Amino acid sequence: MSQPIFDQANAMMSEIESVSIADAAALEQFRIRFLGSKNLIKDLMGEMKNIPNEKKKEFGQVVNALKQKAEEKFNSLKEQLTSTTSSSNQNIDLTMPGDPVQLGSRHPVSIVRKQIIDIFSRIGFVVAEGPEIESEWYNFTALNIPQDHPARDMTDTYYLQTNPEIVLRSQTSNVQIRTMENQKPPIRIIAPGRVYRNETITYKSHVFFHQVEGLYVDKNVSFADLKQTIEYFIHEFFGADYEYRMRPSYFPFTETSAEVDIRKKGTTRWMEILGCGMVHPQVLKNCNIDPEIYSGYAWGMGIERPTLLKYGITDIRILYENDLRFLQQFENVW
């Protein structure tokens, strides 16, 4: 039974000695076949148990010779391939134009986010940021949102199972609270960022999206200041072809409150784009700002809705599918 195994070893030696390779892929195949973790030489060594005792020493020497030969051949082939590659590289004409590099593109939500930031930065607003994982205090309580408010319900907000007082923020208003806690008026910030809400995913809603909120706190800030700011943004972002209206509304963190709708002139359909109002005195108190001295306004809107409107997109879900056919349409938009 031992002679066929010796013949197999001799055949393997002949294969190793005669092998030649053309590229790195072939070299890797040689390494796997003879030197890898599950190589043929290791399998052959496993046949030692079938070799008669008087032949075991001889067989062990044959296997060791095989392994040594395979290692020498691999190093020789590797050196030969490296030398060939270096020689080929020397023939490259470095004056020739290089291969074109395909440029990426910005996501449409990122484009609109930057446009909004640029518009408000021109009138003195600066960007402020805060954590996406937040406590109930910053996400709800400090904003004058009652304990029994529907927004706190598990069906609307994502709570951490390990700590029911920690949530994924449902609006970027937490940044407003943190800023007012740590900065004395005057305060003029915008807070763009990602938010999370437990909603059904449809063509017009998603479980995560982006918001940008604004806050201005100083002495003698009025609703007229808020209205002028909103009007400025609409004309700068949407253009002179759009008109707007403000409707009375209710938010726990503002008083007086309003919602803003826009429509293209000559059409009849209004679209809500943001909510706004004067900062509620209790919110100022929660941040140790005296409402008898200071007042302020705040506004907030989703970034996706203006994006859909600006680019004529009809389904919000396509913004998060990473479809290159869609994203490549924005290659030249910065």
Task: List the pLDDT tens digit at each of the 334 positions of the chain.
Answer: 456 777 787 888 888 888 888 888 888 888 888 888 888 888 877 777 777 887 778 878 888 888 888 888 888 888 887 776 655 556 677 787 878 777 777 889 999 999 999 999 999 999 999 999 999 999 999 999 888 777 677 558 888 888 888 999 999 999 999 999 999 999 999 999 999 998 888 888 888 899 999 999 999 999 999 999 999 999 999 999 999 999 999 999 999 999 999 999 999 999 899 999 999 999 999 999 999 999 999 999 999 989 988 888 989 999 988 888 888 888 665 5
Question: Do residues 128 and 81 both lie within one domain?
Answer: no
Q: How many domains does the chain have?
A: 2
Give the pLDDT of residue 48: 76
**Cβ-based burial of 249 (10 A; exposed 0-12, middle 13-18, buried ≥19):** middle
Give the pLDDT of residue 79: 84
Question: Which residues, including other chains, have CB under 8 Å from residue 301's CB and lie 6 or more apart?
Answer: 211, 212, 213, 273, 274, 275
3 state DSSP class of 164: strand
**Six-digit token string for 104:** 């990426």
Contact by Cβ (8 Å): 108, 148: no
Instruction: Write out the residue range of the structural domain in which residue 69 sits.
Output: 2-89
Length of the chain: 334
Question: Do residues 159 and 296 both lie within one domain?
Answer: yes
Is the Cα torsion angle 63, 64, 69, 70 positive or negative in sign?
A: positive
Phi-psi sector, 280: left (phi>0), alpha (psi -120 to 50), beta: beta
| Sequence-ordered alpha helix ranges (H) in 131-218 | 136-139, 173-182
The H or E element containing residue 32 is: helix 24-35
The H or E element containing residue 13 is: helix 2-18
Domain contains 94: no
Question: Do residues 165 and 233 both lie within one domain?
Answer: yes
The H or E element containing residue 163 is: strand 163-168
The H or E element containing residue 30 is: helix 24-35
Question: Do residues 216 and 301 both lie within one domain?
Answer: yes
Question: Do residues 60 and 142 both lie within one domain?
Answer: no
Residue written as token pair 């209205």? 227
Question: Do residues 63 and 173 both lie within one domain?
Answer: no
Give the pLDDT of residue 35: 84
Domain contains 100: no
Question: Do residues 185 and 324 both lie within one domain?
Answer: yes
CA separation for the pair 36, 38 (Å, rounded): 5
Residue 142 to residues 7, 61, 156, 172, 285: CA-CA distances in angstroms?
A: 84, 80, 18, 13, 9
Give the pLDDT of residue 1: 45
Give the pLDDT of residue 134: 94
Pick from 129, 174, 134: which is nearest to 158 by CA? 134
- Tally Cβ neighbours within 10 Å of residue 107: 16
| Sequence-ordered alpha helix ranges (H) in 136-241 | 136-139, 173-182, 223-237
Question: Do residues 318 and 207 both lie within one domain?
Answer: yes
The H or E element containing residue 192 is: strand 187-196
- Tally Cβ neighbours within 10 Å of residue 62: 18
CATH code for the domain in which residue 288 is found: 3.30.930.10
Question: Do residues 222 and 123 both lie within one domain?
Answer: yes
Contact by Cβ (8 Å): 214, 189: yes
Contact by Cβ (8 Å): 226, 299: yes
Question: Do residues 132 and 10 both lie within one domain?
Answer: no
Domain contains 39: yes
Domain contains 212: yes
- Tally Cβ neighbours within 10 Å of residue 43: 10
Domain contains 97: no
Give the pLDDT of residue 256: 93
Question: Do residues 46 and 138 both lie within one domain?
Answer: no
Give the pLDDT of residue 332: 61
Question: Do residues 116 and 239 both lie within one domain?
Answer: yes
Give the pLDDT of residue 90: 60
- Please, which residues bridge with residue 159 across strands? 167
CA R_g for the chain: 35
Where is the domain boundary, 58, 89, 120? 89
